[in-house]
Amino acid sequence: MYNVTYKFEQKGLEPITFNNVEDGQSLLEVALINDINLHHNCGGVCACSTCHLYVEQGDTFLEELSDREEDFIDRAVNPRLNSRLGCQCVLKPGSGSIVVSLPDQSQFLGE
């Protein structure tokens, strides 16, 4: 079980932490079932970059970055060293704390 905290670069949104999150889910799935707005234009199959997020803590609990994911991260807005695609960040069996930061989702309005 994990504690997962979502922080937001969008102004006015406070961080939210979810406790007892089960492994086997992606950070995109965890966000969506908790009504967090994280874009996912390709439906979570690693074919876009709209689920881009930054992993601030707990990256070792997530499935490893693939070459394909890296390619799409390169096309994301403002990629950084800790960039990942939320749909590819599946929680590995285990427990711990994960903290991620979501880019401002309003930047995708009008797409």
Nearest residue (CB) to ligand FES, 60 versus 66: 66
Interface residue list for ligand FES (CB under 6 A): 40-42, 44, 46-48, 50-51, 72, 85, 87
CA distances from 56 to 8, 41, 47, 83, 109 (A): 12, 23, 23, 9, 25
CB of 90 to ligand FES, least distance (A): 12
52's enclosing H/E stretch is strand 52-57
Residues paired with 6 in a beta bridge: 16, 100
Nearest residue (CB) to ligand FES, 20 versus 45: 45
The alpha carbons of the chain give a radius of gyration, in whole angstroms, of 13
CB of 93 to ligand FES, least distance (A): 22
Contacts of residue 1, Cβ cutoff 8 Å, sequence gap at least 6: 19, 20, 21, 22, 23, 95
Nearest residue (CB) to ligand FES, 1 versus 75: 75
CB of 78 to ligand FES, least distance (A): 16
Nearest residue (CB) to ligand FES, 21 versus 87: 87
